[in-house]
Amino acid sequence: SYELTQPPSVSVSPGQTASITCSGDELGDKYASWYQQKPGQSPVLVIYQDSERPSGIPERFSGSNSGNTATLTISGTQAMDEADYYCQAWDSSTAVFGGGTKLTVL
């Protein structure tokens, strides 16, 4: 079965750029989405179709996808961005999520 691999944790200082990767076989040939989940809350879509931002998502969130890796980039990271982030793609008519990355802003 298809797997998406994310680092368990990423740390960033406030105002700096955070990058969260998601690796999967030929992931660049698929569309990747990213979700933010804060403690006790439901996931929120922050990036879809590799690099598109839904309305209401700050411009500091961006995405890219090439080769075997999709990347979520948060520029000028703020304390409110501290959360778990999940990548997601489709393979063989099945939605697959990465294991999640805990972003710590310190």
Partner 1 sequence: EVQLVESGGGLVQPGGSLRLSCVASGFTFRDHYMDWVRQAPGKGLEWVGRTRNKVNSYTTQYAASVKGRFTISRDDSKNSLYLQMNSLKTEDTAVYYCARVSLAGAREFDYWGQGTLVTVSS
Residue ranges binding partner 1 (CB under 8 A): 1, 31, 33, 35, 37, 42-45, 48-49, 54, 86, 88, 90, 93-100
Neighbouring CB atoms inside 10 A of 26's CB total 10
Question: Which C-beta is closer to partner 1: that of 13 or that of 41?
Answer: 41
Burial class (CB in 10 A: 0-12, 13-18, 19+), 83: buried
Query: Least CB distance from residue 6 to partner 1, whole Å?
Result: 9
Q: Tell how far CA 16 is from the center of its chain.
A: 17
Query: Least CB distance from residue 16 to partner 1, whole Å?
Result: 26
The answer to whether 56 and 6 have CB atoms below 8 angstroms apart is no
Question: Which C-beta is closer to partner 1: that of 60 or that of 96?
Answer: 96
Question: Which C-beta is closer to partner 1: that of 79 or that of 95?
Answer: 95
